């Protein structure tokens, strides 16, 4: 399996599929998942002739379970290591949830300054800041994230069943049909990673203020968010990010959940392709 070793010694697993001369679409996954969460998008874009690249974040999936570096700076630097190893240029970077934070920091600090990025997409993404602070009164209380940490530490395996069975995909909504395969695949991906990386990743995705990252991004950026996102509420995330970004297009989806890339893949894939081709 292909790996790249970062400057601090972390082995990062990556996929590199499709024609090497084609425009690369680089996917950044959410917490606590892996690059496998992009299967529906990877196959779709391969079918349209693109080069598809996706990596497992450190501590997640098949990448090394490092004891440290579980923060947005390292996440972005690791993504940069993969991009530079493959010498990707004119790339479109697509990030979901925590992966959207990773995209924002990568593009702002690495990709755009190096001239490697054509466009960016933030899907159900965590920027600019999830936690409530004096300067971010619309955020979620710290106690919400403390609860996630406690659930993970008490029984990670059960927590990783409860979250996708409920709010992540909106399966807790009246009339919703739970897709057991989707839940099981979420659990499979989560349990591949390391407990310490997942525990510390909660702080990374909830307490990292990425306002300045968003302000620094100049490339066209598509912001996609479900209006019934119970994990990353739209008002303090997608809508706010679109106002901060220099060159943003916002598209929202009534009734769609945080996991819309999976359960509404046909709709999302068409919108992603239209943006890439625009």
Q: What is the pLDDT of residue 224?
A: 98
Q: What is the pLDDT of residue 251?
A: 98
Q: What is the pLDDT of residue 60?
A: 98
Is residue 209 exposed (0-12), middle (13-18) or buried (19+ Cβ within 10 Å)?
Answer: middle
Evaluate whether 30 touches 96 at the Cβ level (below 8 Å).
Answer: yes
Q: What is the pTM of this model?
A: 0.98
For residue 65, how many other CB atoms are within 10 A of its CB? 16
Q: What is the pLDDT of residue 58?
A: 98
Q: What is the pLDDT of residue 115?
A: 97
Catalytic residue among 70, 96, 198, 258: 258
Q: What is the pLDDT of residue 267?
A: 98
Total domains in the fold of the chain: 1
In terms of residue numbers, what domain contains 70? Answer: 3-277
Strands 24-28 and 91-96, by their bridges, are parallel
The CATH number assigned to the domain holding 267 equals 3.40.50.1820
Asked if 97 is an active-site residue, the reply is yes
Q: For residue range 164-210, list pLDDT tens digits in order.
A: 999 999 999 999 999 999 999 999 999 999 999 999 999 999 999 99
Token pair listed for 86: 């493959």
Asked if 258 is an active-site residue, the reply is yes
Q: What is the pLDDT of residue 1?
A: 73
Q: For residue range 59-87, list pLDDT tens digits in order.
A: 999 999 999 999 999 999 999 999 999 99
Evaluate whether 6 touches 77 at the Cβ level (below 8 Å).
Answer: yes
Catalytic residue among 97, 124, 165, 241: 97
Catalytic residue among 63, 229, 241, 257: 229
Query: In the chain, which residues have pLDDT < 70?
Result: none
Q: What is the pLDDT of residue 2?
A: 96
Asked if 213 is an active-site residue, the reply is no
Phi, psi of 29 (to 5 degrees): -85, 165
Token pair listed for 77: 């630097």
């Amino acid at each position: 399996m292909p790996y790249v070793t970062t400057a601090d010694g972390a082995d990062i697993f990556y996929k590199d599929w499709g024609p090497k001369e084609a425009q690369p679409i680089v996917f950044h996954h959410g917490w606590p998942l892996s690059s496998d969460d992009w299967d529906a998008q990877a196959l779709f874009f391969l079918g349209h002739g693109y080069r598809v690249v996706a990596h497992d974040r450190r501590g997640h999936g098949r990448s090394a379970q490092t004891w440290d570096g579980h923060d947005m700076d390292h996440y972005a630097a690791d993504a940069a290591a993969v991009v530079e190893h493959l010498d990707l240029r004119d790339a479109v970077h697509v990030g979901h949830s925590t992966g959207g934070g990773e995209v924002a920091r990568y593009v702002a600090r690495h990709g755009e300054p190096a001239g490697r990025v054509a466009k960016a997409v933030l899907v159900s993404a965590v920027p600019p800041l999830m936690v409530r602070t004096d300067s971010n009164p619309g955020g979620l209380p710290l106690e919400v994230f403390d609860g996630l940490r406690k659930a993970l530490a008490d029984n990670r395996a059960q927590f990783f069943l409860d979250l996708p069975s409920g709010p992540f995909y909106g399966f807790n909504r009246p009339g919703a049909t739970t897709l057991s395969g989707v839940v099981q695949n979420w659990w499979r991906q989560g349990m591949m990673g390391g407990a310490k990386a997942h525990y510390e990743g909660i702080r990374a995705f909830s307490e990292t203020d990425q306002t300045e990252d968003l302000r620094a991004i100049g490339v066209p950026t598509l912001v996609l968010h479900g209006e019934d996102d119970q994990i990353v509420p739209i008002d303090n995330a997608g809508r706010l990010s679109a106002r901060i970004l220099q060159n943003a297009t916002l598209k929202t989806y009534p009734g769609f959940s945080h996991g819309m890339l999976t359960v509404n893949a046909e709709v999302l894939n068409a919108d992603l392709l239209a943006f890439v081709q625009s």
